[in-house]
Chain A
Amino acid sequence: MIQLNVNGKPVRLDVDPDTPLLWALRDTLQLTGTKYGCGQGLCGACTVHVDGAPLRACSTPVSAVVGRKISTIEVVEAERVGQAVQAAWRKLDVVQCGYCQSGQIMSAVALLRQNRKPSDADIDAAMSGNLCRCATYVRIRAAIHEAARSLA
């Protein structure tokens, strides 16, 4: 049994310690907002926050996050930066297929927590680990600026 803290709640999981956090979230805890895209930390679709920092859940074994605070897209609206990012994403209609967007939003929230006024270059650096095959990048940049303005 593995004990984790997910979205503010303690949970006990009957999974192997090597199981990637992604599959524990999706298949065991039914938190399906976090997506599988590559399994190798190449696309960022599985981005979650661990102690507030962005982390690729597909290549992180559950044993590595025991005792740490894991949060997923499902609770992003609970705090101010998350709300601002979601609102900006909706205002600018960033999404297309939407599959990568949980990961994009988690990365964007982490960026804005650290840097309240990111430049385009800051955004590119923080977001280049998150692939979007629909290439919604123009709007991701604009939405992060929009969220930054609303948080100012």
Chain B
Amino acid sequence: MREMNIENLSRRRFLQGGAGLTLGFCLPSLVAAATAEKMPVATFEANAFLRIGSDNTVTVLSKHLEMGQGTYTGLATLLAEELDADWAQVRVEGAPADAKRYNNLLMGPIQGTGGSTAMANSWQQMRQAGAAGRAMLVAAAARQWQVAADEIVVEAGKLTHPASKRSASFGQLAEAAAREAVPSEVKLKDPKDFRLIGKTAKRRDSADKTNGTAKFTQDVQLPGMLVAVVAHPPQFGATVKAFDASKTRAIKGVVDVVQIPQGVAVLAKDTWSAKLGRDALVVTWDDSAAFKLGSDEILARYKELAKTPGLVARKEGDAAAAFAAPAKVVRASYDFPYLAHAAMEPMNCVIQLKPDACEVWNGEQFQTVDQGNIAHLLGLKPEQVKLNMLYAGGSFGRRASTHSDYLLEAAHIVKAIDGRAPVKLVWLREDDMRGGYYRPLFHHALEAALDGSGKLVGWKHRLVGQSIIAGSPFAGMMIKDGIDAVSVEGAANLPYAIPNLLVDLHTPSDIGVPVLWWRSVGSSHTAFSTEAFLDEVAAAAGKDPLVLRQELLAAHPRYLAVLKLAADKAGWGTKLKAGKAGERRGRGIAIHESFHSIVAQVAEVTVAKDGSLKVDRMVCAVDCGTAINPDNIRSQVEGGIGFALSAVLHGEITLKEGRVEQGNFDGYAPLRINEMPRVEVHIVPSAAPPTGIGEPGVPPVAPAVANAIAAATGKRVHRLPIRPADLQA
């Protein structure tokens, strides 16, 4: 591998209880890509990923948030593989916020978890950290035993010297290893020698999460801590005009009531008292600056906008010429609602303010951004803000808030009480559901031109929707010539060979609804419009949807392999078993690349006479590069299918006069177990570096279901969620 610099933190700063090895390990902090080949020799900064205790525990520090996606297990797998640790001795701990040591190597100078990048950016880094640790243990053993280092065998947490029959555990050697020089170079394993990678290491968080001991932000209790529940305005942009807290203050347990920019916060000794206190508040809101449109009006505006050209995101050939005299034109438009992330753990945050420091406990997903924003508000330096990363009870993007919204709310509250007590901000479900930062509402209009032979010769795709990136720290990097890259991802990079293609975008900037990335981001809508529309094109051309895709993807062998695997396993082309009387059944396929992974889904559905829909079976094929943990890949795809189906069947946040109409799981219903289809996940073998898996399972689900519905009923789905009324016989 390339040059790297490692230092031994044990001698410098830590001595874990006076014993053991803490490996500080240095890599360039500003690398553009995660592959060793691309790593420039740049500034070197210490960062620590590994501790070995004399009690024989191997602690891996995770720079990424565990929010369900299995990142703690994945990162530990990479390190433990090269360390040759016994998986049973491996523990994982959340790393502190430190942008210099724990940058996401794919996010430039930002520390954070998102974009399905945890494995991709850590693939070399964590293995190198493990290999360096192994080399130091070997050096320590060689010195103690007076033998040659290359005669020492390391396996499952144990070093042995077969010739002299000597052996020692990692723990026994930890202290000695801490005195060894850090190797200037390490050699990573040949993949054929992997013992953990590709072999399904068990999740490291299963035990804690099945006995109630896993600690989430909601579970943090600090001495003297107050719980804050906030009265938020009923419309985005409204503010407090006046409030009367006299009834609130009379409630037992309520300690204080403070006005903050986000509303009025009630602080109490416990959550229930704070909630009762908030219920008793009388707040008059100033709605003069509030956003007052309804979602129907927003959509109507978008449809008007879609009649005019937008900013060009991609242009190939001459689309206008292709549409000048086509043999056949296919047109369709698709509407996508606002969607809430609705993680099971509503947003929350614990914050403690001291004269020159602030400490935060959070399912921390966006360290650099949150640290900077909190520090700015409190008049501190970023390094004076200590972030403790706890498990997140789901996120799906919500905790990577571009504006640190709920964290700043907590900071305002603790500031308003002069830091005299630590504060746990608790959003109740309704606060979370109505708190904005939704997947943006989008309208798509597509047109395809076919020539006389039925060949697809022209494709026009116009998108209308709010920008997630505008006004965020990523704007400089991800908005080019007015095009927000995530608004058009999945549309502008359409892989199909179409000679004349035009993708353009309208980005309304006067819609006051906060928007954010929602698991799979732009692909959560672009996969649907492109893949559902391609099936409409296939029907117009009289072609099988799979065959048309194969023709248009002839130059993309990775796509073809994924398509074939999914189609073969699903029995594409075979006859589906008939349903009961009045039931219509169908099969549909879709494929989409997101976060450098390619996923195809084949859906089998049953549509009843009354239009009600049952998704019976999903067969999935995925190419996400090296499968670090095949079982976790299956798990993420299974969950991604369920997450996507929530939006297919139910998910919709609507506004009326600017007020969000849903508040809890009755109005906004995630998928339940009785709606979960049978799922099969098939992984394309690959030796390429790993790519994302947390998100890529999601995008092709909805279009595969829509295409299956069309196969069953002849009806095309043009808006989500799917309404049974649209599918009635």
Are B674's CB and A128's CB within 8 A? yes
Do B270 and A135 have beta carbons less than 8 Å apart? no
Cross-chain contact A99 with B665 (CB below 8 angstroms): no
CB distance B70 to A42 under 8 Å?
no
How far apart sit A90 and B395, CA to CA, in the bound complex (Å)? 22
One of B206, B393, B679 near A97 (C-beta < 8 A): B393
Q: Please report the C-alpha to C-alpha distance between residue A132 and residue B642 in the assembled complex, in whole angstroms.
A: 9
B318 at the interface (CB under 8 A from A): no
Within 8 A of B (CB), among A32-53: 32-40, 42-43, 45
Instruction: Report Cα–Cα, A128/B396, bound state, in Å.
Output: 22
Contacting pair B211 A76 (CB below 8 A):
yes
Q: Mark A69-85, 1 if CB is under 8 A from B, else 0.
A: 00011101100000000
B641→A135 contact, CB < 8 A:
yes
Q: Chain B residues with Cβ under 8 A from A32's Cβ?
A: 212, 215, 218-219, 221
**A90 / chain B contacts, CB cutoff of 8 Å:** 202, 206-207, 210
Q: Report how many residues on chain B are interfacial, defined by Cβ distance under 8 Å.
A: 62
Decide if A95 touches B344 in the complex (CB within 8 Å). no
Does the CB pair B252–A16 fall under 8 Å? yes
Whether a CB of chain A sits under 8 angstroms from the CB of B638 is yes
Contact A138 B664, beta carbon cutoff 8 Å: no
Query: Contact flags (1/0) for A92-115 with B, using CB distance below 8 Å?
Result: 011111111110010000000000
Q: Which residues of A contact B673 (CB under 8 A)?
A: 123-124, 127-128, 130, 132, 137, 140-141
Within 8 A of A (CB), among B622-647: 631-632, 635-636, 638-643, 645-646
Pick from A33, A89, A97, A139: contact of B392, CB below 8 A.
A97
Beyond A127-B673, A135-B642, A137-B642, whether A93 also contacts B635 by CB under 8 A is yes
- Contact of A134 with B643 in the complex, beta carbons under 8 Å: yes
A39 to B431, CA, bound (A): 12
B209 to A38, Cβ gap below 8 A?
Answer: no
Tell me, yes or no, whether B482 is within 8 Å of chain A by CB. no
Cα-based distance from A96 to B343 in the complex (angstroms)? 12
Is A28 at the interface (CB under 8 A from chain B)?
Answer: yes
Interface string of B210-227 (1 = CB under 8 A from A): 111111101101000001
How many Å from the CB of A58 to the closest CB on chain B? 10
A6 neighbours in B (Cβ, 8 Å): none
What residue in chain B is nearest A30 (Cβ atoms)? B221
Q: Given the complex, which residues of A lie within 8 Å of B206, measured CB to CB?
A: 89-90, 93-95
Chain B CB count within 10 A is highest, among A36, A94, A127, A133, for A133
A3 — which chain B residues lie within 8 A by C-beta?
none
Among B202, B391, B643, the residue within 8 A (CB) of A98 is B391
In the complex, the chain A residue whose C-beta lies closest to that of B70 is A96
User: Is A136 positioned at the interface, with any CB of B under 8 Å from its CB?
Assistant: yes
Please determine whether B676 and A138 come into contact, CB atoms closer than 8 angstroms: yes
Chain A positions within 8 Å of B394 at CB level: 97, 99, 133-134
Cβ B344 vs Cβ A99 within 8 A: yes
Complex-state Cα separation, A95 to B641, whole angstroms? 16
Chain B residues, Cβ within 8 Å of A152: none
Say which residue of A15, A35, A72 sits within 8 Å of B218 (CB atoms). A35
Q: Contact check: which of B216, B252, B392, B664 meets A42 at CB < 8 Å?
A: B664
In the assembled complex, the CB of A128 is this many whole angstroms from the nearest CB of chain B, namely 5
Distance, CA A86 to CA B205, complexed state (A): 13
Taking CB atoms, residues of chain A closer than 8 Å to B67 are 97
**Which residues of B have CB within 8 Å of A15?**
272
Q: Is A19 an interface residue (CB 8 A)?
A: yes
Contact flag A136-B214 (CB < 8 Å), given A93-B202, A98-B205: no
In the docked arrangement, what's the CA distance between A123 and B674, Å? 8
A131 to B631, CA, bound (A): 22
Q: Are A133 and B643 in contact (CB under 8 A)?
A: yes
Q: What CA separation (Å) do A20 and B276 show in the bound complex? A: 12
A84 to chain B, nearest CB (A): 12
Contact between chains at A133 and B344 (CB < 8 Å): yes
Q: Are B393 and A99 touching (Cβ within 8 A)?
A: yes
Assign chain A's interface to a size class.
Answer: 35 or more
B212 and A95 contacting across the interface, CB-CB below 8 Å: no
A residues in contact with B272, CB < 8 Å:
15, 19-20, 23, 27
A133-B343, A135-B641, A135-B671 known; A98 and B429 CB under 8 Å? no
- Whether, in the assembled complex, B38 has its beta carbon less than 8 Å from a beta carbon of chain A, the answer is no
Residues on A with C-beta less than 8 A from B68 are: 95-98, 134
CA of A5 to CA of B97, assembled, Å: 42
Interface of B is mostly: loop
B344/A97 in contact, CB under 8 A: yes
Q: Which residues in A have their C-beta under 8 angstroms from that of B121? A: none
Contact (Cβ within 8 A) B391 A131: no
Q: Is the CB of A43 within 8 A of B665?
A: yes
Bound: A89/B206 CA distance, A: 8
A149 located at the interface, meaning its Cβ lies under 8 Å from any Cβ of chain B in the complex: no
- Which residues of B sit under 8 angstroms from A45, Cβ to Cβ? 344
Q: Tell yes or no: A1 within 8 A of B by CB.
A: no
CB distance from A42 to the nearest CB of B (A): 4
Measured between beta carbons, the chain B residues less than 8 angstroms from A127 are: 673
Inter-subunit contact A73/B212 (CB<8 Å): yes
Partner of A102, one of B212, B631, B664, B666: B212
Does B33 touch A at the CB level, under 8 Å?
no
Given A95-B206, A98-B214, also A135-B252 (CB < 8 A): no
Contact A36 B210 (CB under 8 A): no
Contacts of A68 on B, CB cut-off 8 Å?
none
Asked whether A96 and B210 contact (CB < 8 A) given A131-B672, A140-B673, the answer is no
- Which single residue of chain A is at the shortest CB-CB distance from B679? A138
Q: For the complex, give the distance between the alpha carbons of A98 and B666 in Å.
A: 22
Q: Are A138 and B638 in contact (CB under 8 A)?
A: yes
| B271 x A23 contact (CB < 8 A) | yes
Q: List the B side residues contacting A93 at CB < 8 Å.
A: 202-203, 206, 631-632, 635
In the assembled complex, B69 has its CB within 8 A of some CB on chain A: yes
Complex contacts, B646 vs chain A, CB 8 Å: 133, 135
The residue in chain A whose Cβ has the minimal distance to the Cβ of B363 is A97
- What 0/1 pattern do residues 41 to 81 of B give for CB contact below 8 A with A? 00000000000000000000000000111100000000000
Q: Does B405 contact A (CB under 8 A)?
A: no
Question: What residues on B are CB-neighbors of A36 within 8 Å?
Answer: 218, 271, 346
Task: Give every chain A residue within 8 A of B345 (Cβ-Cβ).
Answer: 35, 37, 97, 99
Q: Which chain A residue lies CB-closest to B201?
A: A93
CA distance A33 to B205 in the complex (A): 14
A124 touching B674 in the complex, CB below 8 Å, given contacts A33-B212, A136-B639 = yes
Within 388-420 of B, Cβ neighbours of A (below 8 Å) are at 391-396
Q: How far is the CB of A135 from chain B (nearest CB, A)?
A: 2
Residues of chain A within 8 A of B342, CB atoms compared: 133
Task: Report whether A89 and B210 are in contact in the complex, using a CB–CB cutoff of 8 Å.
Answer: yes
Within the complex, the shortest CB–CB distance from B78 to chain A, in Å, comes to 18
Cross-chain contact of B212 among A20, A74, A124 (Cβ < 8 A): A74
Complex interface: chain A residues within 8 A of B639 (CB): 96, 134-136
- Shortest B216–chain A CB gap in Å is 6
**B211 lies within 8 A of A128 (CB):** no
Cβ B344 vs Cβ A132 within 8 A: yes
Cα of A105 to Cα of B213 in the assembled complex, Å: 14
A38 to B342, CA, bound (A): 10
Q: Given A39-B429, A42-B664, A132-B344, list of 8 further CB < 8 A pairs?
A: A19-B272, A27-B270, A37-B346, A99-B344, A101-B209, A133-B670, A135-B671, A136-B639
Interface residues of B (CB under 8 A from A): 67-70, 202-203, 205-216, 218-219, 221, 227, 252, 270-272, 342-346, 391-396, 428-429, 631-632, 635-636, 638-643, 645-646, 664-666, 670-674, 676, 678-679
By Cβ-Cβ distance, the 4 closest A-B pairs, closest first, are: A33-B212, A135-B642, A99-B393, A98-B209
| 14 A–B pairs (Cβ distance < 8 Å), ordered by A | A32-B221, A33-B212, A35-B345, A73-B212, A96-B636, A97-B395, A98-B208, A98-B214, A123-B673, A125-B674, A133-B343, A134-B643, A135-B638, A136-B639
Chain A contact residues, CB within 8 Å of chain B: 15-16, 19-20, 23, 26-28, 30-40, 42-43, 45, 72-74, 76-77, 86, 89-90, 93-102, 105, 123-125, 127-128, 130-141
